[in-house]
Structure 1
Amino acid sequence: MRVWLACFLVLFALAQLFDWIEELKLPLPIYILGGAFLAVASNYDKLFGTYFRDVTETSIEAQLEEHQLDLSPQPSASVSLPESGVKD
């Protein structure tokens, strides 16, 4: 019963909201600005996402290469190889 009551109240509120929106009159520039905002918001990842993703990936790759260079073994002059017991 609570679910039915909650659904009824939500649908009633939505119907009243749509009636109120239909009576709302806005000037044309507001519609144009709203449309432009929606266009930019919906294509944000296409416009700016690739730039930021490329910069982020490049910096991450550079940090990984730097870290790998730090971990690579450094040749040392004082290291001597053990002699094997086999003679020629």
Structure 2
Amino acid sequence: MWIVELRFLPTPERLAARPAHRDQLAALHTQGVVRMAGPLADDTGAVIVLDAPDRETVDAILAADPYFATTGVDVDAVRQWHPFLR
């Protein structure tokens, strides 16, 4: 499992790109790749939990979604996670 931590700025580009991004996350959720995703309560960032075998797969997922290259969206961290409860 992987955790992707995002940091946001309130840019119009980010807000315009968000619906398509959420559609992509929903499709990946249906496939079992995205386990959880959502913004922080203060909308300064978000967390995405991915069920991916390796960092290369995570990087490919991020590269396939233009949202992650949008002004106002920064990927702060990509961390491998080993949950003991699911």
What is the TM-score of this pair, normalised by structure 1? 0.23
Higher strand share: 2
Structure number with larger C-alpha Rg = 1
Higher relative contact order structure (alpha carbons within 8 Å, sequence separation ≥ 6): 2
